[in-house]
Amino acid sequence: MPDGATLIDAARAARREIARTSSERDRTAALPTEPLRLILSAGLGAARVPWRYGGSEVRFRDLVEIVIHIAAGDASVGQLVQPHFIFLERVRLMGSETQRQHYLAAAAAGAFFGNAISEKGGAPGRWATHLKRTAGGYRLSGHKFYGTGSLLAQYTFVGALTDDERRVLAVVPTDRLGVRLEDDWEGFGQRATASGSVIFDHVSVEPDEIIDLGPWETRRHHTGSGSQIIHCAIDAGIAAAALDEAIGLGRGGARASRDSGVEWARDDTAVQDVIGDVAAHAFAAEASVLRAADLLDRAAEALYASGTESEPHVEPLLVEASLAVAKAKIVSTRAALRAGERLFEVGGASNTARSRNLDRHWRNARTHTTHDPLAYKFRVVGDSLLNDRDPPNSFTF
């Protein structure tokens, strides 16, 4: 399989191709079938799959660079692949060897995994989707929303409660009898993420398709930070895309303000200020995400090396990585929103024309950054610095 540098180069090339059609996908909410094919054919889907299962086993730092490029091409496509990457990380850490051999090798062969975790209503994290034990195995019933990627996936991983109230993931082929996919996502941003409702009507599930989350709800691990850092990379990619757009506008013959004393926007000091501001925010987002990824790599490698029972030195590394990713989340969220807003200050009111669709960058940023409210990131970072309290041991930190 390709090494990290080769995969990053492939992601850079994919960025250009994906960007070429991103506006039209946003306009029509079309499924990103071709971008996903491009990503998988380049081996990007197996970036962190270990070599022994056929993947490239790159570091999180490389994965972050890959996702930034993909999201800079199209933020929806960056979101599309997020559940796939984090599911594979959870299988690698939490699955059995049989499950690793099956699912990680499937990803290396080009399989794609979507998710079916979130539900409408109910207490947060309290799934109504039920996995019931039967004489012949298990049956899964429930209705999921925001099933990102599942409309194009061969498998979807499903959060469910068992008869004895255990939280589990069930990994289900999307073409299995009783699975129904509905293309009903209607957000004003992130419109082409292949998300929608996933309904399970007494779907048959085998015992080896179930991953028990129970042990990992009390033991600290890195997959919450791993999931969050991919979200950070998406936001950094949105900021990069908005910067590209702003530069293109400034270089492309936009007129300067009548009060500037110059003819072209590129010579207007106010426009130069905008470009400098957006560039600095995009730079800060990428730099913070890459720094957090380095710390996450150190923690993940120590956790994997420690085996079933973590060594005492692993916990502080996991805490440090979690806090670093929380800080990167703050920086990247603000960068994406600011870049998407300020690019309109390059040129005049014609940039707001629907035909230009420049607002998609802000809409993508605003939609995506609602996943995890920044208030909780600020609070956890501040509490750690003031009171030496560790971040929550959860799947979101």
- Which tokens is 35 given? 């971008």
Second CATH level (architecture) for the domain 4-112: Orthogonal Bundle (1.10)
Cβ atoms of residues 293 and 332 within 8 Å: no
Instruction: List the chain pLDDT tens, one digit each, 397 residues.
Output: 789 899 999 999 999 999 999 999 999 999 999 999 999 999 999 999 999 999 999 999 999 999 999 999 999 999 999 999 999 999 999 999 999 999 999 999 999 999 999 998 877 768 999 999 998 889 999 999 989 999 999 999 999 999 999 999 999 999 999 999 999 999 999 999 999 999 999 999 999 999 999 989 889 999 999 999 999 999 999 999 999 999 999 898 778 888 888 888 888 898 999 999 999 999 999 999 999 999 999 999 999 998 756 678 899 999 999 999 999 999 999 999 999 999 999 977 888 889 999 999 999 999 999 988 899 999 999 999 999 999 998 888 9
pLDDT at 1 (0 to 100): 75
Cβ atoms of residues 296 and 226 within 8 Å: yes
What distance in Å separates the CA atoms of residue 21 and residue 73, rounded to the nearest whole number? Answer: 9
Cβ atoms of residues 11 and 44 within 8 Å: yes
pTM of the model: 0.97
Q: Which of 337, 336, 340, 332 is nearest to 292 (CA)?
A: 332
Per DSSP, the three-state class of 329 is: helix
Q: How many CB atoms lie within 10 A of CB 61?
A: 20
Q: Which of 384, 391, 349, 341 is nearest to 365 (CA)?
A: 341
Write down the domain spans for the chain. Answer: 4-112, 116-213, 219-387
Cβ atoms of residues 154 and 179 within 8 Å: no
pLDDT at 145 (0 to 100): 92
pLDDT at 360 (0 to 100): 98
- Which tokens is 111 given? 């399989």
CATH, domain range 219-387: 1.20.140.10
Residue 160 bridge partners (DSSP): 168
Please list, in sequence order, all residues whose beta carbon lies within 8 angstroms of the beta carbon of residue 386, skipping any fewer than 6 positions away.
none
Using CA atoms, how far residue 132 sits from 96, 126, 262, in Å, is 21, 16, 71
pLDDT at 309 (0 to 100): 63
Is the CATH code 2.40.110.10 the one for domain 116-213?
Answer: yes
Residue that the structure tokens 């999921």 belong to:
144
pLDDT at 310 (0 to 100): 65
pLDDT at 262 (0 to 100): 87
Per DSSP, the three-state class of 6 is: helix
Cβ atoms of residues 292 and 324 within 8 Å: yes
Cβ atoms of residues 204 and 138 within 8 Å: yes
pLDDT at 122 (0 to 100): 75
Classify residue 389 by its DSSP letter: P
Classify residue 150 by its DSSP letter: G
What distance in Å separates the CA atoms of residue 291 and residue 65, rounded to the nearest whole number? Answer: 12
Please list, in sequence order, all residues whose beta carbon lies within 8 angstroms of the beta carbon of residue 301, skipping any fewer than 6 positions away.
none
Please list, in sequence order, all residues whose beta carbon lies within 8 angstroms of the beta carbon of residue 232, skipping any fewer than 6 positions away.
64, 285, 288, 289, 292, 325, 328, 329, 332
Per DSSP, the three-state class of 144 is: strand
